[in-house]
Amino acid sequence: MTDLWPRLERLIPRAERPARYIDHEWGATYKLEADYRYCMAYPDTYELGQANQAVRILCNVVNAQEGMAAERAFLPAAEFADTMRAEGLPAFSLESCAPLAEFDCLGITLPHELAATNVLELLDLAGIPLHAEDRADGDPLVIGGGPCAFNPEPYAPFFDVIVIGEGEDVNVELLQLHRRMRDAGASRAEIVRAIAQIPGCYAPSLYRWLPEAEAQERGSWIEPVEEGLPERFEKRLFEGFADSPTWEPCVVPFTEVVHDRLNVEILRGCTRGCRFCQAGMMYRPVRERSADNIVASVLRGLAETGYDEVSLTSLSSTDHSQIAEILRRLNEACAGKGIRISIPSQRLDSFGVEMAELVAGQKKGGLTFAPEAGTQRLRDVINKGVTEDDLFGAIDAAFAAGWRRCKLYFMIGLPTETDEDIKGIASLAQRAYDRAKKAVPPEQRGNVRMSVSCALFVPKAQTPFQWDGQITPEEALRRVDLLRRSVKYRAVDVHWHDPETSFVEAVMSRGGRECAAWVEEAWRRGARFDAWTEHFKEGAWREAADALGLDLAQVAQRTYDTGYVMPWAHVSAGVSTRWLQRERRLAQEEKTTPDCSFERCSACGVCPDLGVDIQCQEVRHG
């Protein structure tokens, strides 16, 4: 493979952060003897992508295969990408500084909707044709996966294959098949057709996109171009998660990255059932790693990386049945070493006095709690499963244990929300601030800080709220203004997300294959790094829609009956459509559904349909 380092080395002095582009970090893997080369790319800068656990997991899985090597790639920062284009330097991998176009396969994770234009930026910078139909046999196979794969259609033309679900097993199956067929001299078309038979692998080029009326009649927006192709795509699960080693090789960066710490995944899945939450649907069922596995792996990871902080990651880490034991053992083992043990996802109803004392040891930064809504009525609508008493109890415990800063996370624009719910956010935040001050000694009350962070609700595929539209950006700003005027305490800061970026997210989240042309047109008009405030170009997206005659408001804001077939109906996260429909009806009735990990099964369909044992209280909590 071509070594681009001599050319890159001359450009490095012009880079804003050179450490983004150099290799040989501690823990990096090099397999020079491999005859099959895979590159795992994150469509954003190094400091964001290097912290992504999917990149680490999938690279390690491939590197564990004989004769296969995995490398990493990240999108150069906007200014340096322009420099590379001007100098004719293509996008490259980190380990060998090789052109991405020379790899056998390029995997690109789809972490969020605002990364869509970055996918095109990466492909173009690599010299790989944007559309799968334009790629020749010598071009790498381009595969996608990740959260946005659960509505793959806005990305369909750009990928040869999109993998639905967890990649540990299916990625290896896919790459091994590709390797065998490549060695046998098969054509690109033959390879894609064969991969399409692997469960969880969707090859968009093999399916026609149907008009709306025909899609509603057929029950699917896609139709195979030939017989023998699957018409429904169930997510893949890594069934060995619970018994797999928690510790796995990880790279220690030269430069600071987001979440710059040892990250250890202790739990996968969540059955709390928040009706807005896509992650809670797509990562079901819940699977735990054992306390012995976790503790041993954390201690090994700290010893081998030199980190002084470890994060016990999952969607809801305090739901682990042995979390108190895990924290006690780690705190004892790390006592006096200046190591912080943190939990990024803390449930209000799980954060009591004992948890407050166990989390973070002597180093206490800020805490984030997510009531999501300002009134109990709306929390019942979204099935949040927490009360004001849960919040106040968590704040009492946290501030009594030494915390002095807390962020409360809410959403604006949730289905059925009224102005009273908005005012409820202000009231709840002010009362939380009062409780926090009361929980600390009088001389320290001046150090208490409370902030409110508000995101605009984005309807997500595979959730009960997928049929509900988003409020307009103008209405979102009106509600934000109402919230700001309702907060009377100067000590309570209010922050909110830009509704225009959330509008783009909603279109991408709910759109069909027609949105792919919109993404490409916006990119050609300069859209890239849309998640970065300084780079987001609202005009490029609006102009692209006008040029294509695409009604963005219709896509983002339309509310459907639950009988409407959504553009991702051919993809399943495991939860049944009937269950999603029932959950939406219960939301409208302001009724809740209990967490099946602790109470009765809610019949979502994941466990029987995906062939796993029912993940109930008896399994997880003995």
Triad 613, 618, 622: Cα angle to 5°: 120
What pLDDT score was predicted for residue 487?
A: 96
Q: For 240-345+592-622, give the CATH class.
A: alpha beta
> Which of 7-21, 37-51, 77-91, 333-347 is the least confident region?
333-347
Is pLDDT of 289 > 60? yes
Q: How far apart are CA 218 and CA 207, in angstroms?
A: 14
What pLDDT score was predicted for residue 617?
A: 42
What pLDDT score was predicted for residue 351?
A: 75
> Mean per-residue pLDDT for 582-588?
97
Q: Do domains 5-234 and 240-345+592-622 have the same CATH topology?
A: no
What pLDDT score was predicted for residue 340?
A: 87
Maximum CA extent, the chain:
77
Residue 244 backbone class (left: φ over 0; alpha: ψ -120 to 50; beta: rest)? beta
Identify the bridge partners of residue 474 per DSSP, sorted by sequence position. none
Q: For 18-66, what is each residue's pLDDT tens digit?
A: 999 998 999 999 998 899 999 999 999 999 999 999 999 999 999 999 9
Share of the chain above pLDDT 70, in %: 97
**Are 203 and 152 a contacting pair, CB within 8 Å?**
no
Is pLDDT of 622 > 60? no
The band of 349, judged by pLDDT with boundaries at 50, 70 and 90, is: confident
Nearest of 456, 548, 475 to residue 511 by alpha carbon: 548
Share of the chain above pLDDT 90, in %: 86
Q: For 351-394, what is each residue's pLDDT tens digit?
A: 766 777 777 555 566 788 999 999 999 999 999 999 999 999 99
Q: For 406-450, what is each residue's pLDDT tens digit?
A: 999 999 999 999 999 999 999 999 999 999 999 999 998 988 999
What pLDDT score was predicted for residue 227?
A: 95
* Domain extents in the chain: 5-234, 240-345+592-622
454: Cβ contacts below 8 Å, ≥ 6 apart: 410, 411, 412, 425, 480, 483, 494, 495, 496, 497
Mean residue pLDDT of the chain comes to 93
Considering the segment(s) 5-234 as one domain, its CATH architecture is: 3-Layer(aba) Sandwich (3.40)
What pLDDT score was predicted for residue 361?
A: 56
The band of 613, judged by pLDDT with boundaries at 50, 70 and 90, is: low
Q: How far are the Cα atoms of 209, 509, 540, 548, 569 from residue 552, in angstroms, in the given order?
A: 19, 12, 13, 11, 20
> Which of 347-361, 391-405, 549-563 is the least confident region?
347-361
The band of 620, judged by pLDDT with boundaries at 50, 70 and 90, is: very low
**Are 194 and 181 a contacting pair, CB within 8 Å?**
yes
What pLDDT score was predicted for residue 353?
A: 61
Q: How far apart are CA 223 and CA 201, in angstroms?
A: 16
Q: How far apart are CA 398 and CA 162, in angstroms?
A: 43
Nearest of 151, 155, 149, 41 to residue 90 by alpha carbon: 41
The band of 130, judged by pLDDT with boundaries at 50, 70 and 90, is: very high
Is pLDDT of 233 > 80? yes
What pLDDT score was predicted for residue 381?
A: 98
Q: For 135-193, what is each residue's pLDDT tens digit?
A: 999 999 999 999 999 999 999 999 999 999 999 999 999 999 999 999 999 999 999 99
Identify the bridge partners of residue 144 per DSSP, sorted by sequence position. 108, 162
